[in-house]
Amino acid sequence: MSLVHFHRFLIATAIVFCLGYGAWELNAAADRAGGFVQGTIFIVLGLGLTAYLSHLRRFLGYDK
């Protein structure tokens, strides 16, 4: 396994965590005042990581 594949795996794990935690926080937002803000931040982070993963070849300089 190359380092690039391991990096992709870690990014995918972070995406699943961010989107899952963000959804969980938004679901529990009625219980706490900061739940909506924190859930929204983690959803945005997950979407940002998804964009990074989809353009990883360009960031690493492996354009075809």
Instruction: At 62, give phi and psi (nearest 5°).
Output: -105, 35
Residue 62 has pLDDT above 80, yes or no: no
State pLDDT tens for residues 14-43.
999 999 999 999 988 877 778 899 999 999
Predicted pLDDT at 63: 64
Q: Output Rg (C-alpha) for the chain, integer angstroms.
A: 15
Predicted pLDDT at 14: 97
What letter does residue 33 receive in the DSSP assignment? S
pTM above 0.75, yes or no: yes
Q: What angle do helix axes 3-27 and 35-54 make, rounded to 10 degrees?
A: 150
Please report which residue ranges of 1-64 form alpha helices under DSSP H. Answer: 3-27, 35-54, 56-60
Predicted pLDDT at 32: 77
